[in-house]
Chain A
C-alpha cells in the first residue's frame, strides 16, 4: 500500500495555499534537536491535516533537514499524508478480529456509498476513507472510527447510515 500511496501522490496537484507561519513555533521548538524529524512532521500534519509540499521546503530551509530524508520518512510511515484530507476521516479497522468478522464488507459498503476508493477523499472534502490496522477494539469487531468516536459491532448498512447522518448534520 505504501507504493500505491506514492503513485497517487504524483498525480496529485497541490493547489491548496496554507499559512506556513503556523508551524513557526513548532520549528523553533525542535530546531537543532537530534531525532527531531518525526516530531516535526507529526506537528506539521497536526496543524494542516497533511504535509503540504511548501511545508517540506520551509522545514528544510529552516532546520537544514534534507528534503530527501524527509520524503523518505514521510512515505515510510503510514501515519503521514501528503495530500489534503476530508473534514471527517473514516478509519475502518482491518485488524485480525475485524477481518474474521467481515470488515471487508464495511469498507466495500462505504466505498460504494461515497464513491471513493480506500485512501481517497470525497469531492466535497467531507470524508476521507482509510483502512487501518487494529484500533484495539477487537472484542467489539467489526469497528470503525470517525474523528474520536468509535462505532462497534457494525454492518455495512449501519456504517453507511452513520455516515449519511453526519452528512445531513453538515448540510444543516
Chain B
C-alpha cells in the first residue's frame, strides 16, 4: 500500500493565513510520533477563503481540509492518518461525499490553473508527471513546423489574457514575419491591478507551465532570448521561477538545440520590476527592461517590429502562456469548444471584496457574472445586498446589479463600459459608496500616471480634486459635467492604455450610479454611509440611558449630558470618528 500523503497549500495567501505554521506543526508531529506519512507541499488551489488548506490522499481517495490551524492539524492527523477516520466536518472538497464547498468547483473548467494546488511547484518531476513539457516534446518528436504551431494557436481563438484581448496567434505571426538575427519573447508578470492575483498564483503554483508556454512561443516566432518581467512584490513567485528555470536548464528544456530541434537556442531570465503600474503597458515594460524610466513609447512601430533593444519582440501575459502547452497538446478544437463565438476558452477570475468565497476561479467564457458571484462565489456575506462588481481594475468599470446577467466575454463586458482586464473581480455591497470607489481608482491612476501626456498627468489630478470635493460635501452643481468633459479629453489625448482607460471607473459609476453623485452634491449625503465628512451622528432620545460612556470616550469632548439623562452630540465639534457609535451598547446613536 502506498503511503498516505499529507500536502499543505503554501501559496502566498496560504502562508498569510498561517499555512507555514501548520506545515511546521505537521513536520514536528511526524518526527515526534514517528508517523508513517509523506509530507508534501503544493500551491494555491483557489479556495483562499478556506486557507490554510491541507490535502490528505490515502487509499480511499483525496480529502481537502479547510481552515487547518495547528490545533485542527493535530486532530486531523490523530483521526485521519492514525485511525483512518476522516474528519468529515472539516473536509471542504472530496469526490467521495458531498461537502459544503463542492459547488465552488462544479462550474469550473481548469485549463490555465490545471496544476495549481495539484503539484509541488518546486519539482520539475511533478510537473513532468502531469504531461509537463509533453507539448514541446510533441513538437520535437512530430517535427511540427513553427507555422503549424502558430496556426494551432490562431485556430484555438486564444486572446491576450492580460486585458487587451488581442489574438495571440496573430501577435506571434507578426513577430515571426519580422526577420532579425535576434528576437525576444517577454512574459508580462507585472500584475499591478489591485484586486487581481491570478498571475501570482500561477507563477507560484505552476511556474513550469509558464516556462513551457514561453519555450513554445520562442519556437514559433524564432526568439533567442526570453525575459520574465515580474513584480518585486511577489518574492515567492520570483523564488519559484528561479528554481524552475534552473531545473529546466538542467534538463535541457532551455539551452542550445533544445530537445534536438536544430538551431533552436533559447534561454529565459527574470527581470524584477521596481514598482510602477504603467510598466504593465508593453512599451513601458520594454523601457523598464532596458533600465529606463518606464514610460510608454509611441506605437507604431509595434514591439513585434521594433521592441526590446529595437529587435522584434513578442509580449504575452502569464495566463496566456500557461494556456499554450495545454492547447498544443490537446489541439485547437479542444480549447475552442469552450467559450463564446468571439471569446474562446476559459478565463481565470480573482474574486475579492464583499464576497463569501474569495479566491481564484477558472470558468468557460460565456458564464454570467451572477453565476460567478452567487454560484461559485457563494454570494454576499452578512446578508447584505449585492450592489456592483468592479471588473478590470483601475482601467475597468463597475457593473451594477441589474446588469449581472451579462455574460463574460470580451465584447459583452466592453459593452457595459467596463473591460475584462486581467480578471480581477471586486464585489461591492450596499455599504460601498460608488463615488468613493471611483475616487479610489482615480487616486491610483493619478499616482501611477508616468507624466508623459499632459491630459493624463494633469487631467486625472483635476478629476481627483473634484471627486475629493464631492466626497467632502463641497461638491458643486457643475462638477458632474466637468468630470464628464475631462474624462472624454483624457481618453482621447493619452498615448497609452493607462490614460485612455483611467476615466473608466468614473464614467461607469456616473452612468449607473448618477443618483449617488447627485446625493453627495445636492443633498450632501452619502447613501452608503461611507464618506466620513457627510455623516451625522445623533443620539436617539428614546434609547439613550445616560450611561455616559460616549461622553467619556469622545476624543474631542463633543458629547455632553448628565448621568442617567439623555446625552447630546454637538455637531459643530464632532469629528465623525464613529467611536460613540461603536461603543454604545444600547444602539442609541443614529448614523445618517
Q: Which of A1-43 contact B (CB under 8 A)?
A: 1-2, 34-39, 41-42
The reply on A56 being an interface residue by CB < 8 A is no
Residues of A within 8 A of B272 (CB): 38-39, 42
CB of B92 to closest CB in A, whole Å: 14
The reply on B157 being an interface residue by CB < 8 A is no
Residues of A within 8 A of B13 (CB): 136-137, 139-140
Question: When A100-B353, A138-B197 are in contact, do A42 and B291 touch as well, CB less than 8 Å?
Answer: no
Q: Select B437's contact among A38, A100, A101, beta carbons within 8 Å.
A: A100
The reply on B580 being an interface residue by CB < 8 A is no
CB distance A140 to B48 under 8 Å?
A: yes
10 closest pairs, A vs B, by CB? Answer: A139-B48, A139-B358, A95-B194, A78-B275, A77-B274, A138-B352, A97-B352, A150-B16, A37-B291, A96-B195
CB distance A78 to B276 under 8 Å?
A: yes
CB of B534 to closest CB in A, whole Å: 16
Residues of B within 8 A of A1 (CB): 447
Residues of A within 8 A of B196 (CB): 134
Question: When A35-B291, A42-B272, A77-B294 are in contact, do A96 and B194 touch as well, CB less than 8 Å?
Answer: yes
**Which residues in A have some Cβ–Cβ distance to B below 8 Å?**
1-2, 34-39, 41-42, 69, 72-73, 76-80, 94-97, 99-101, 132-141, 143, 148, 150-152
CB distance A73 to B293 under 8 Å?
A: yes
A159 to B437, alpha carbons, bound, how many Å?
Answer: 24
CB distance B17 to A133 under 8 Å?
A: no
CB distance A79 to B353 under 8 Å?
A: no
The reply on B354 being an interface residue by CB < 8 A is yes
Q: Which of B329-371 contact A (CB under 8 A)?
A: 350-354, 358-359
Q: Which of B304-330 contact A (CB under 8 A)?
A: 309
A137 to B360, alpha carbons, bound, how many Å?
Answer: 11
The reply on B74 being an interface residue by CB < 8 A is no
CB distance B444 to A139 under 8 Å?
A: no
Residue on B with the closest CB to A91? B233
**Which residues in B have some Cβ–Cβ distance to A below 8 Å?**
12-13, 15-17, 48-49, 51, 191-197, 200, 232-235, 271-277, 288-294, 309, 350-354, 358-359, 390, 393, 424, 426, 428, 432, 437, 440-441, 444, 447, 450
CB distance A38 to B17 under 8 Å?
A: no
Residue on B with the closest CB to A73? B293
Residue on A with the closest CB to B433? A100
A37 to B289, alpha carbons, bound, how many Å?
Answer: 10
A37 to B51, alpha carbons, bound, how many Å?
Answer: 40
CB of B516 to closest CB in A, whole Å: 15
**Could you show 24 A-B contacts with beta carbons less than 8 Å apart?**
A34-B309, A35-B289, A37-B291, A38-B272, A39-B291, A73-B291, A77-B294, A78-B276, A80-B274, A94-B194, A96-B424, A96-B426, A97-B358, A97-B426, A99-B194, A100-B437, A134-B195, A134-B197, A136-B13, A136-B233, A136-B234, A138-B350, A138-B424, A139-B351
Q: Select A100's contact among B16, B393, B432, beta carbons within 8 Å.
A: B432
A41 to B227, alpha carbons, bound, how many Å?
Answer: 19
A95 to B390, alpha carbons, bound, how many Å?
Answer: 13
Q: Select B352's contact among A38, A80, A139, A151, beta carbons within 8 Å.
A: A139
CB distance B233 to A135 under 8 Å?
A: yes
Q: Select A140's contact among B17, B192, B288, B450, beta carbons within 8 Å.
A: B17
Residue on B with the closest CB to A2? B447
CB distance A97 to B294 under 8 Å?
A: no
Residues of B within 8 A of A141 (CB): 352-353
Residue on A with the closest CB to B193? A134
CB distance B358 to A96 under 8 Å?
A: no
Residues of B within 8 A of A151 (CB): 16
CB of A11 to closest CB in B, whole Å: 21
Residues of B within 8 A of A143 (CB): 16
CB distance B292 to A132 under 8 Å?
A: no
A170 to B390, alpha carbons, bound, how many Å?
Answer: 42
Residues of B within 8 A of A140 (CB): 13, 16-17, 48, 51
Residue on A with the closest CB to B432? A100
Question: When A34-B309, A42-B272, A73-B293 are in contact, do A138 and B440 touch as well, CB less than 8 Å?
Answer: no
CB of B418 to closest CB in A, whole Å: 13
CB distance A100 to B428 under 8 Å?
A: yes
CB distance B17 to A100 under 8 Å?
A: no
Question: When A37-B292, A152-B17 are in contact, do A133 and B192 touch as well, CB less than 8 Å?
Answer: yes
Please indicate which of the listed interface residues B437, B440, B441 has the most CB atoms of chain A within 10 Å of its own CB: B440
A152 to B577, alpha carbons, bound, how many Å?
Answer: 24
Residues of B within 8 A of A37 (CB): 291-292
A78 to B200, alpha carbons, bound, how many Å?
Answer: 19
Question: When A42-B274, A77-B275, A96-B353 are in contact, do A133 and B291 touch as well, CB less than 8 Å?
Answer: no
Residues of B within 8 A of A99 (CB): 194, 437, 440
CB distance B197 to A96 under 8 Å?
A: no
A41 to B272, alpha carbons, bound, how many Å?
Answer: 12
Residues of B within 8 A of A97 (CB): 194-195, 352-353, 358, 426
CB distance B432 to A34 under 8 Å?
A: no
Residue on A with the closest CB to B449? A2
Residues of A within 8 A of B353 (CB): 96-97, 100-101, 138, 141
Residues of B within 8 A of A139 (CB): 13, 48-49, 51, 351-352, 358-359
Residues of B within 8 A of A79 (CB): 232, 273-275
CB distance B12 to A136 under 8 Å?
A: yes
Residues of B within 8 A of A133 (CB): 192, 194, 233, 277, 444
Q: Select B276's contact among A39, A69, A76, A96, beta carbons within 8 Å.
A: A76
Residues of B within 8 A of A72 (CB): 293
A70 to B294, alpha carbons, bound, how many Å?
Answer: 13
Residues of A within 8 A of B432 (CB): 100
Residues of A within 8 A of B428 (CB): 100
Residues of B within 8 A of A134 (CB): 192-197, 233
Question: When A38-B291, A140-B13 are in contact, do A96 and B234 touch as well, CB less than 8 Å?
Answer: no
Residue on A with the closest CB to B277? A133
A165 to B48, alpha carbons, bound, how many Å?
Answer: 27
A80 to B273, alpha carbons, bound, how many Å?
Answer: 11
A34 to B292, alpha carbons, bound, how many Å?
Answer: 11
CB distance B192 to A76 under 8 Å?
A: no
A77 to B195, alpha carbons, bound, how many Å?
Answer: 20
Question: When A34-B290, A37-B291 are in contact, do A100 and B354 touch as well, CB less than 8 Å?
Answer: yes
CB distance A150 to B15 under 8 Å?
A: yes
CB distance B440 to A36 under 8 Å?
A: no
A69 to B426, alpha carbons, bound, how many Å?
Answer: 38
A101 to B309, alpha carbons, bound, how many Å?
Answer: 43
Residue on A with the closest CB to B16? A150
Please indicate which of the listed interface residues A38, A41, A73, A151 has the most CB atoms of chain B within 10 Å of its own CB: A38
Residue on A with the closest CB to B291? A37
A148 to B15, alpha carbons, bound, how many Å?
Answer: 10
A138 to B350, alpha carbons, bound, how many Å?
Answer: 9
